[in-house]
Amino acid sequence: MSTGTQPLDVTAIRQDFPLLSRVLHGKPVIYLDSAVSGQMPLAVIERMAKYEREEHTNVHRGVSTLSQEATDYFEAAREKVRRFLGAASIREIVWTRGTTEAINLVAQTFGRMTVQAGDEILLSGMEHHANIVPWQMLAQEKGASIKVIPMNDAGELILDALDGLLTERTKLVGLVHVSNVLGTVNPVKEIIARAHAKGIPVLVDGAQAVPHLQVDVQALDADFYVFSGHKLSGPTGIGVLYGKLAHLEAMPPWHGGGNMIRSVTWEKTTYMAAPGKFEAGTPPIAAAIGLGAAIDYVTGLGLDRIAAREHALLVYATERLSTLPGLRILGNAADKASVLSFVVEGIHPHDLGSLLDGDGVVIRAGHHCAQPVMARFNVPATTRASFAYFNTKEDIDALVSSVEKAIELFK
């Protein structure tokens, strides 16, 4: 959704986020950890509370007015996701518990159908563990192998390697859209096109992309696209699997139980069509409705304006942090989202994270569930600051000041 070039009213937006008014260790909270969880605005919190307070019941199959209303709200949220991703049909949107479950669902259904002994699964060198471990489990089960697209020192994938990596043995490509460590925005459309030219399907991990970029799954031509609600200013416990309908129709159910069946006898069960056959049991109704409200909120602000705001913050933070002695930023890709990972000579990231926390600056320190990335850059962990549209230059100044204090302390 485009809202023109008018900049965001950040002062007004900040009033929508209760956590930003908290005091931590006697200091106002500076929240620079949106890559792990985006803060929920009041509109999302209140919409979920309204469901729990006034509308709470189960969905589908119920004949009561309440159940029919809840079903309408639940399915309306699915339609919001469809529009948000540019999917062709509501049947292509499957609710999951998050990105991790969505990838596992594809690995244990489509992957099991597709991958055989001697085959290869191609992943990028900057994947989150959620897009590594399920494929390793499948490869071990099937006798297949994992291949990796390498990256350069700037944190960009080396696309020249693709010609040698995409072979007749490659049965699937798994690719992160935006790196959670480096902030790199990968050229997924080009990679998908090159894979499809050889008949190879592609799954895109969009967990870090959807908060920052306008995504159109049809324009990308992704076979599968996955993300989590809590990265998008929504609640935890809800995620989305987009899959091309032809794939979803061919895939078998993963979980069994109520809600995903047409009929059950002692001899045989018949299943619902997609997406129902993948949604066994009572779904996360409040969380789905909350994700729908989060999509309303961010699209109301305008993803183009969000991207412009966050890019300006990234540029400012990069300039300021780059002046600090002994500080090295990991990942200097030409196309980056608002994520900055860095290390400071002589200070372990966990120690730095604790010192920043004492100043009320909330960041992430660790390997960020991306240990192969840490190995590529020869570090055990990083300090990661990630910026959202509600952050300010003053927030970044507070981060820089706190890092400066730590550098002085460790001299």
Which one from 369, 377, 392, 397 is the annotated catalytic residue? 369
**In what side-by-side order are the strands of the sheet with 327-330?**
327-330, 339-344, 382-386, 364-366
CA atoms within 13 A on the CB side of 378: 2
Token pair listed for 231: 């990265």
CA 318 to chain centre: 23
Give yes or no for a contact between 406 and 356, defined as CB atoms under 8 angstroms apart: yes
**Of the candidates 90, 83, 47, 99, the residue with the CA atom closest to the CA atom of residue 294:** 47
**Which residues does 37 contact at the CB level (< 8 Å), separation at least 6?**
230, 231, 236
Q: What distance in Å separates the CA atoms of residue 198 and residue 37, rounded to the nearest whole number? A: 37
DSSP string, 224-241: EEEEEGGGTTS-SS-EEE
Give yes or no for a contact between 198 and 170, defined as CB atoms under 8 angstroms apart: yes
DSSP 177: S
Query: At 201, is the secondary structure helix, strand, or coil?
Result: coil
Query: At 326, is the secondary structure helix, strand, or coil?
Result: coil
Q: What distance in Å separates the CA atoms of residue 313 and residue 310, rounded to the nearest whole number? A: 5
Token pair listed for 362: 């909330």
Give yes or no for a contact between 365 and 318, defined as CB atoms under 8 angstroms apart: no
Q: Check if 404 is active-site.
A: no
What length is written for the chain? 411
Token pair listed for 227: 């993300």
DSSP string, 98-167: SHHHHHHHHIIIIIHHH--TT-EEEEETT--GGGTHHHHHHHHHHT-EEEEE-B-TTS-B-GGGHHHH--
Q: At residue 119, what are phi and psi to the nearest 5 degrees?
A: -80, 170
Give yes or no for a contact between 324 and 400, defined as CB atoms under 8 angstroms apart: yes
Q: What distance in Å separates the CA atoms of residue 238 and residue 60, rounded to the nearest whole number? A: 18
As annotated, the active-site residues are 369
